[in-house]
């Protein structure tokens, strides 16, 4: 079996051309305006709103602070219904607000919170639902909104994977009360570190902007115990340059996903995750699910085999968030409450995917998954 001579990581950030960035830096050096709602900050908020097809964007220094702040914006308290099949930041942001997470199991295809199981988890203390569009596939947004309307709950989406994902012809970020994006280096669109809250009306946008700037609503007026979560000018300028190259980068991701699809679709014991049919996708991750009994090797055996070949996939999301010590004791964290999330967490490997991933490397990865000739048998 062929080993890659260099490590192939699960992702590699796309960067804007350095010369373009140097021009932006010169402008910042001349103006000496480094942060606090500067020119690039305002420009990027407007450019992102246009690009994404949403009304209002508030930039943040990272996605986690945006999540923590989004919960404060809506004054969420008590209990919040959420998913265990996510990155820890989703749940930690609840914890930092003194909110009790209530875990609900996920659907077996996409791994998003299962709307059919939400109602049973609602108690008099429930104030909101915090779902995650895992791997960029939209949650059951209509069903979730129905439940929220019936019970008077807020909906805040962790949309860290869903940058530029459109659902039924519009941005998936237009659903729910708020959506939160991450622009971390590992995401489809990055500002090195960064994030945003998407909202749908001007008053909410104003409140978000107060909260990310210590709660200042004027020179001498503080309306809330806000935080400092503003994006600076250097990152905002970098972010503007990134937008120019994004469409081409997503197209390249699509090509990588297409090559994987073609090769892996007929490997018995490997389930690939096809994009949601009603969606313009952004190809942020390429998860595969290993059924040990059929594939003949466990997920972890395959994972470590790939590592031996210098291929560094990641087990997103394993372990489940509900398994970490700070959440494990919750009643909703019981394994029998989350059977599907556990099964996905135990079967998943996210294969490397990024715009500059070379075809030769993709072939090496694919050949490492065809671990023996018997596995090439076609599924019925």
Ligand X SMILES: *Cc1c(COP(=O)(O)O)cnc(C)c1O
Binding site for ligand X (CB under 6 A): 62-64, 86-87, 89-90, 132, 158, 160-161, 182, 184, 195
CA 135 from chain centre, in angstroms, equals 6
Nearer to ligand X, 184 or 276 (CB): 184
Nearer to ligand X, 161 or 276 (CB): 161
Nearer to ligand X, 68 or 306 (CB): 68
Nearer to ligand X, 62 or 126 (CB): 62
Question: Collapsing DSSP states into helix, strand and coil, what is residue 197?
Answer: strand
Closest to 73 (Cα-Cα) out of 204, 228, 225, 194: 204
Nearer to ligand X, 59 or 306 (CB): 59
- Min separation Cβ 89 and ligand X, Å: 4
Nearer to ligand X, 194 or 269 (CB): 194
Closest to 272 (Cα-Cα) out of 379, 355, 115, 131: 379
- Min separation Cβ 340 and ligand X, Å: 18
Neighbour count for residue 263 (Cβ, 10 Å): 18
Ranked by CB distance to ligand X, the top (closest) residue is 63
- Min separation Cβ 317 and ligand X, Å: 8
Neighbour count for residue 208 (Cβ, 10 Å): 27
What secondary structure letter does DSSP report for 324? S
Is the CB of residue 83 less than 8 Å from the CB of residue 104?
Answer: yes
- Min separation Cβ 227 and ligand X, Å: 14
- Min separation Cβ 38 and ligand X, Å: 21
- Min separation Cβ 100 and ligand X, Å: 19
Closest to 353 (Cα-Cα) out of 14, 13, 8, 10: 10
The answer for residues whose C-beta is within 8 angstroms of residue 184's C-beta and 6 or more apart is 62, 63, 160, 190, 193, 194, 195
């Amino acid at each position: 079996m062929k080993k890659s001579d260099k490590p192939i990581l699960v992702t590699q950030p796309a960067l804007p051309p350095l010369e373009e960035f140097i021009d932006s830096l010169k402008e910042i050096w001349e103006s000496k305006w480094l942060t606090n709602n500067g020119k690039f900050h305002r420009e990027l908020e407007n450019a992102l709103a246009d690009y994404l097809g949403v009304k209002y964007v508030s930039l943040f220094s990272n996605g986690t602070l945006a999540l923590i702040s989004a919960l404060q914006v809506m004054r969420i308290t008590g209990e919040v219904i959420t998913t265990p099949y996510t990155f820890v930041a989703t749940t930690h942001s609840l914890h930092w607000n003194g909110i009790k997470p209530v875990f609900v199991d996920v659907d077996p295809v996409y791994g998003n919170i299962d709307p059919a199981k939400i109602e049973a988890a609602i108690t008099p203390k429930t104030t909101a639902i915090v779902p995650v569009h895992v791997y960029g596939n939209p949650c059951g947004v209509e069903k979730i909104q129905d439940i929220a309307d019936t019970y008077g709950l807020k909906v805040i989406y962790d949309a860290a994977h869903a940058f530029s994902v459109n659902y039924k012809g519009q941005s998936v970020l237009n659903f729910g009360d708020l959506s939160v994006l991450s622009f971390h280096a590992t995401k489809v669109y990055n500002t090195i570190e960064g994030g945003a809250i998407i909202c749908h009306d001007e008053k909410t946008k104003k409140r978000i902007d107060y909260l990310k700037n210590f709660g200042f609503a004027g020179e001498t007026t503080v309306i809330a115990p806000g935080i400092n979560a503003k994006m600076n000018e250097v990152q905002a300028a970098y972010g503007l340059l990134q937008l120019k190259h994004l469409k081409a980068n997503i197209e390249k991701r699509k090509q990588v996903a297409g090559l994987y699809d073609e090769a892996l679709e007929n490997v018995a014991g490997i389930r690939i995750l096809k994009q949601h049919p009603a969606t313009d996708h952004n190809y942020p991750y390429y998860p595969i699910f290993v059924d040990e009994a059929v594939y003949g090797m466990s997920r972890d055996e395959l994972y470590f085999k790939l590592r031996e070949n210098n291929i560094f996939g990641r087990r997103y999301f394993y372990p489940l968030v509900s398994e970490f010590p700070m959440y494990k004791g919750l009643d909703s964290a019981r394994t029998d409450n989350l059977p599907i999330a556990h099964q996905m967490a135990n079967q998943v490997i996210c294969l490397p995917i990024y715009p500059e991933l070379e075809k030769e490397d993709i072939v090496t990865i694919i050949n490492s998954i065809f671990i023996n000739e018997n596995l090439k048998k076609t599924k019925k």
